[in-house]
Structure formats: C-alpha cells, structure tokens
Amino acid sequence: MEAFAEILQYELAGSGVESVIVEPGPYPSQLLPNSPAPGDPDRLASYGPLTGLRDHFVGHFAELFGSVNAPRTQDVADAILRLLQLPAGARPLRTVCGMDFGANSLNESMAPVQADVLRALGMEQMIPGLATYHAGKYPG
C-alpha cells in the first residue's frame, strides 16, 4: 500500500490530486484480540523460544491499551484532518502519528536516497514533498 501511495504521488503530480501516507503507531482496536492463535500445538512447540511470542505480544499491547497512557485513536483522525487543512502542495508524503517505533527515523534516513533516485530520473520537482516529514507537527 505504501509503494502504491508513493507511486500515485509521482503519477498524479501536477494534476491537483495528492497522495499521502498516514503511518499510525499501535492503537487500541480488536485486531490483536481477534487474531487467531496457532491451531497446531505440536508444530507451535517446535518453534522453541518463539512459542510464546504471540501471547507475549498480545499481552504487552493489551496492557498498554488498558493503561492511562493508552494511545488515543482520535489522534489518527486529528492527523488526517490537519493534512486536509494544509494548502495544496504543502502536504507531506508521510505523516507518522502516535508511537512511531522508529518510523520517523526510517523515513528521514530514506528521504535522501529517494531524492537521489528522483534526481537520477529527472523528477526533481517531486523532492520537496518527499523530503518533508512531520511527527505531529504541521506547517502553517
């Protein structure tokens, strides 16, 4: 999905249509509680130390989501609203909201690489949107 949204940004440049990527961190939802547990106990046991990984992961996030510091799902809607309120051409390609788990660092480190590729392809006009990242901060 991310690659598709990025390609759309390039293909739609100059048409007045913008493609952006909202990268939310973990938020309370029913995804983890409803994810199926492994159904083959013998096969699961063969994974050794990884056997309890799913339960640990689900338990960790259940604890986080049940705490007073639980991420607010409203933050995602607020980030989308702020993107919509930005003037045309000022929207960043990627917007990280919530706990980023390194997404901002990855985006920032990849921006120069992607900019070099765009330069090599003669698409310099795409670089400003690509190189602009915001972690809960919006211009204007």
Whether 120 has a pLDDT exceeding 80, the answer reads yes
With pLDDT > 90 as the criterion, what percentage of the chain qualifies? 20
Whether 2 has a pLDDT exceeding 60, the answer reads yes
pLDDT at 130: 56
pLDDT single digits (tens) 29-84: 888 778 888 889 889 889 888 888 888 888 888 899 989 989 999 999 999 999 99
pLDDT at 15: 84
What's the predicted TM-score (pTM) here?
0.72
d(C-alpha 108, C-alpha 98), whole Å:
17
pLDDT at 90: 85
